[in-house]
Amino acid sequence: MSGVDKMKDKAQELSGQGKQAVGEATDDRDLQAEGKKDQAAGSIKQAGEKVKDAFK
């Protein structure tokens, strides 16, 4: 996996954390849920790429 892809996945996870925090601060449950979803997607992508890297 390229370094750019790893950075994009991490950025998605961090963006999700930011959305969740803003959602909590503004009591916006939709934004909180979207943030959690983004965090999960970024984490899953990172885990998948780590598995691929392990088999190289």
Q: What is residue 31's predicted lDDT score, i.e. its pLDDT?
A: 96
Q: What is residue 38's predicted lDDT score, i.e. its pLDDT?
A: 95
Q: What is residue 48's predicted lDDT score, i.e. its pLDDT?
A: 87
> For the chain, what are the domain ranges?
3-54
Q: What is residue 1's predicted lDDT score, i.e. its pLDDT?
A: 52
Q: What is residue 43's predicted lDDT score, i.e. its pLDDT?
A: 92
Q: pLDDT, tens digit, for every residue of 28-46?
A: 999 999 999 999 999 999 9
Integer Cα distance of 11 and 18 in angstroms: 10
Integer Cα distance of 26 and 10 in angstroms: 24
- Identify the DSSP state of 46: H
Q: What is residue 49's predicted lDDT score, i.e. its pLDDT?
A: 85
